[in-house]
Amino acid sequence: MCKPDEKPLPDPAIVGAMEALKSAYERKVIPSEKRYLYSEFDTPPLRDQEFMVCSQF
């Protein structure tokens, strides 16, 4: 029952901090939110537009 090899997360120095954060969120956080029905109790998963708003500050 070995876990399959995962691609490493992108390097923030290469793709930018917000893109790396978005990638980490999509691959690590969203699966847990869906598994535990987080959106039923609090907020739905973040959308791409919400990451774009943060990068403009």
Q: How is residue 13 written in tokens?
A: 């120095």
Q: Say how far apart CA 54 and CA 24 lie, in whole Å.
A: 15
On the question of pLDDT at 13 being above 60, the answer is yes
0.85 exceeded by the pTM?
no
Question: What residue ranges do the domains of the chain occupy?
Answer: 13-54
**Per-residue confidence (pLDDT) for residue 54, from 0 to 100:** 54
Report residue 7: phi and psi, to 5°: -70, 140
Say how many C-beta atoms besides its own lie within 10 A of residue 25's C-beta. Answer: 14
What is the per-residue pLDDT across 15-55, written as a single tens digit (0 to 9) for each?
988 889 999 999 999 999 899 898 888 888 888 888 776 54
Burial of 22 (0-12, 13-18, 19+ CB in 10 A): buried
**Per-residue confidence (pLDDT) for residue 45, from 0 to 100:** 87
